[in-house]
Structure 1
Amino acid sequence: MDLVAVLAVAFWTMLPAYVPNNAAVLVGGGPPIDGGRTWNDKRLLGDGKTWLGTAAGIAAGASLALLLNVLQPLLDGAVGATLPTFEPAVVVSLPVGAMVGDIAASFLKRRSGRQRGAAFPGLDQLDFVVGGLALTALVAPGWFLETFTAAVLAVVLVMTPVLHVGTNLVAYKLSLKSEPW
């Protein structure tokens, strides 16, 4: 596979994990997941992690995976590579894992003394990717190994931080986020 094909497969495959956090920011609101609970005088997660945002993120990612399955026959081969379809378990695991990864990062940020919205370079850009990939590898190992070749994984790990920073800057400029990271 050439670089363009690897880029296309990496982006296509990660879309259901990329979209949930954006949808959560757009929908958000409502009661926080942690219910305001603290641990050692620090919030468990913070007000930014809500049940509504999490549910909306998962629904958006899963819906996108289903839509991509419909579009796949029309676009397959257009970039010189076979675009994967998403198995039923993967339709759920990529967005759920992405949201769990983001929630886990929030927990780690609170433990390290960072306030809501504070930057945590590296973690902020890859938390949802690690969560989505880990859960998918767990529930659909065959699909995972077939889809996420070494080249695709490498592109995901390089491409994601660039996309993350770019989309966050756009969301900040549009006043959808209160900080640009």
Structure 2
Amino acid sequence: MVNIIMVLYSIFLFLPAFIANPGAVITGGHFILDRGKTIHGKRILGDGKSLSGFIGGSLIGVLAGIIVYYIIYISNIGLGNYGNNIISALPVLFAMSFGSLTGDITGSFIKRRLGMKRGAKGSLLDQWPFVLMSFLFIFIFARHFFLEFYGNFIAIILILVLTPPLHRGVNILGYKLKMKDVPW
């Protein structure tokens, strides 16, 4: 039987991956990753993907994870954490955050290959690649954590279901705060 508390807790533990993306919006804009280069006349990634956003957003995700780690540690929830101590938690947090933004970049790469311009509505291409790549990075670099919290795949499915409305809401907020050009 599925423990719904653990599933919800697993979603909570995924916050660094969710936070890395808006972190990239906040820190981005410097050192465009593809430097304007194209493949078959189409930009590789576009101006929306920068080194400052990738690194800055990832580090904001890691920082968010450190905060979550200490909230769990101090509250003594007892359902598990990213690691036994903050040092052992860092590989999980780095995998989750850098995986998230690698997935975001992958989604942009696919959108450019499909001829979609920067800011074009890509539906699930804007939403699922960052989640899936984050899970892949966690699986590769922190398999013990992945198996403990996402091994039954129910939390993964719920995260995939929750991501589109959550992503949309955050993007609308970013648009209203004039941090994004489009609300999607």
Fold equivalence (TM over 0.5): yes
* Structure 2 letter corresponding to 1:167: V
Report what 2:58 is aligned to: 58
Q: Aligned residue for 2:133?
A: 131
CA distance in 1, matches of 2:161, 2:69: 25
1:5 and 1:76 mapped to 2: Cα distance? 15
Aligned partner of 2:107 in structure 1 is 105
1:78-132: per-residue Cα shift (whole Å, max 9, x none)? xxx7153243311210011011101111111110000001011111111110111
For residues 172 and 2 of structure 1, the distance between their equivalents in structure 2, rounded to whole angstroms, comes to 37
Contact 1:72 1:85 in 2 (8 A): no
1:158 Cα deviation from its structure 2 partner: 1.2
Name the structure 2 match of 1:115: 117
Q: Which residue of 2 aligns with 1:17?
A: 17
Q: How does 1:52-91 map to 2 (within 5 A)?
A: 52-77=52-77, 82-86=79-83, 87-91=89-93
The Cα shift of 1:4 comes to: 5.4
- Please give the alpha-carbon distance, in whole angstroms, between the structure 2 residues aligned to 1:53 and 1:135: 19
Q: Report if aligned partners of 1:26, 1:176 keep a CA contact under 8 Å in 2.
A: yes
CA RMSD of aligned residues (A): 1.7
For the 8 Å contact 1:7–1:152, the answer to whether it is kept is: yes
What is the identity percentage for the equivalent residue pairs of Structure 1 and Structure 2? 34
Listed as ranges, the gaps of 5+ residues in structure 2 are 84-88
Aligned to 2:34: 34
Deviation at 1:66, TM superposition (A): 1.7
TM superposition shift of 1:163: 0.7
Match of 2:162 in 1: 159
Contact map agreement 1:68 1:85 (CA 8 A) in 2? no
Structure 1 match to 2:8: 7
The amino acid across from 2:81 in the alignment is P
> What number of residue pairs does the alignment pair up?
177
Distance 2:81 2:100 in 1: 19
TM-score (structure 1 length as normaliser):
0.90
**TM-score between both structures, scaled by the size of structure 2:** 0.89
| 8 A Cα contact 2:13 2:68, kept in partner | no
Structure 1 unpaired stretches of 5+: none
Contact residue 76 and residue 83 of structure 1 kept, 8 A: no
